Structure 1
């Protein structure tokens, strides 16, 4: 499997750890790393600034054996998300977008992405405009709507997405299932709701499948849990061709992630 992760990246700056500590992150970056750690091939395509935080991201991705040949170094600051940690739960503060604000994909980037089996993007990555183009190129597309499912960006990408992920705090209920049916009816392939401690729920147009969690003995930091679930799911669906096994693989990957500080 070859995964192309496109769009958003940032340094997660934990304001209450050691007087302030920076970790590389951002949804697509995280997914590329988790995919590489699962033994598959991954690339990250996106912009970083020509600053110390940009170096942190690039050096860290190289160490994780993620292809960074199409990372663009721009004049300016790398995106930063301020984070505080309270009882193992990450609380997001201010977000400084930096060079992400003007990012776009080149024709060469699109040709490179099309050499992969899957492409994954998220709500914050400014990649939604390219999904119709990539859809025509025949690459399988995954998109993370996070908790912004009803936003115009998520509504616009539905017809081009093979695997649409989103987060919900309310667990499995009929309202959630009805929402997932409507998303699939609008053109999405498999719809996956990530329900935190309540596991996950998928819908493929004919049936719902539930999967719980893999218990973690020591939850340290939930940063990256959803991203690691997505990477695990995509690796699982590619390897097994089975939704239940893909969901289990996602849950296993997420459990590893929440046992340490930072996304990875």
Structure 2
């Protein structure tokens, strides 16, 4: 029996950092035809599913990853790093032609530009073994899977809900920009919805600058979803959690130097879930999430 099954992507992140990678006005300035030599190079696991799984495992939740791993040169590295982190790969599927790889350029302040290639994986949940695994967990995290159809995600969420597991849901930009009546068919099965401020803006079809997150966003925008806990992370401004009657706020913690912001959101989510599964206390879970996010951005690597 697992505490959490994390459903999402796993891949390889390759980090490059150097003074030769000129960063100005929020962009890397790279010349066409140029060749750049970097002073620092780092590889680690990436992908939202893996980041949350590893983070939750580190925070005391017995965790398995449900994902696709390619049968390629990176397979051994991926499986070894997951195993070393204590994350089970029991429900991972191996595909001959699948690849998920990112090149990440880092500035001195931890700002990043990501170049990603990922083989489409529309049929992620066709294994009966995977579905049976969802009966053997207390909670499920369903991360951003833009290539999986909304219909399949709704079917999966309904299955999880009907089998009495808590569903922690994250939505990417593509899903947030869907028509409200479409995406509500997925959100209604979630126990907890976790998005950042800009994703929430897309979700509710209101410009970010006009949103006052100190108001009860759940009561305003999701009044009919009585059992939903809504969590919105807002970068340096902190994070918020909303139920039908209460707004909880968590400030960010100070960090001496930001090295890499790549895994901040996933780190927050991982620690939040691990705490919430155990205590069902949103304020405590937000505090744990904020603390772990700071640890993540103080080093290179998303987990």
Report the TM-score when normalising by structure 1. Answer: 0.89
* Structure 2 equivalent of residue 91 of structure 1: 113
The answer to whether the 8 Å contact 1:219/1:258 transfers is yes
- Contact 2:217/2:242, CA 8 A, preserved across alignment: no
Query: Equivalents in 2 of 1:41, 1:222: separation in Å?
Result: 26
Aligned pairs (5 A) from 1:43-82: 43-82=64-103
**Residue range with higher mean Cα deviation, 103-112 or 115-124:** 103-112
Q: Which residue of 2 aligns with 1:121?
A: 142
How far apart, CA to CA, are the structure 1 residues paired with 2:247 and 2:267? 22
* 2:189 is aligned with 1:160: yes
CA deviations on 1:195-241 (whole Å, 9 max, x unpaired) are: 11111011111111111011111211111111111111112222332
Cα distance in 1, alignment partners of residues 55 and 186 from structure 2? 24
- Alpha-carbon distance between aligned partners in 2 of 1:192 and 1:131, rounded to the nearest angstrom: 18
2:160 maps to what in 1? Answer: 134
What displacement does 1:77 show?
3.2
Judge conservation of contact 1:201–1:210 (CA < 8 Å) in 2: yes
Query: Secondary structure, in 3 states, of the residue corresponding to 1:110?
Result: helix
Is the Cα–Cα contact under 8 Å of residues 158 and 183 in structure 1 kept in the other structure? Answer: no
Q: Is the contact made by 1:2 and 1:40 (CA closer than 8 Å) also made in structure 2?
A: yes
What TM-score do you get using the length of structure 2 for normalisation? 0.78
For the pair 1:211 / 2:250, whether they are aligned, the reply is yes
Give ranges in structure 1 of 5+ residues lacking alignment.
none
Deviation at 1:171, TM superposition (A): 8.1
> Structure 1 residue 224 and structure 2 residue 263: aligned?
yes
Instruction: Give 1:7 deviation, angstroms.
Output: 2.6
Report the counterpart of residue 132 of structure 2 in structure 1: 111
User: Would the alpha carbon gap of residues 197 and 68 (structure 1) be closer, same or farther in structure 2, given more than 3 Å must change?
Assistant: same
Give the aligned partner of residue 45 of structure 2.
24
Cα offset, 1:185, TM superposition: 2.4
Question: Relative to 1, partners in 2 of residues 1:229 and 1:19: Cα closer, same or farther, differing over 3 Å?
Answer: closer
Structure 2 Cα separation of the partners of residues 218 and 241 of structure 1: 32
> After the TM superposition, which of the residue ranges 193-202 and 145-154 deviates more from structure 2?
145-154
Kindly indicate whether residue 176 of structure 2 is the aligned counterpart of residue 150 of structure 1.
Answer: yes
Distance 2:276 2:213 in 1: 26
SS at match of 1:100: coil
Larger Rg: 2
Corresponding position of 1:174: 212
Cα RMSD of the aligned pairs, angstroms, is 2.5
Provide structure 2 residue ranges, at least 5 long, that are not aligned to the other structure: 18-37, 199-207
* Counterpart Cα distance in 2 of 1:154 and 1:195: 21
Is the CA contact (8 Å cut-off) linking 1:184 and 1:190 kept in structure 2?
Answer: no
Number of aligned pairs?
263
Change over 3 Å in CA distance of 1:244–1:178 after alignment to 2? closer
1:180-219 alignment runs, 5 A limit: 180-187=218-225, 189-219=228-258
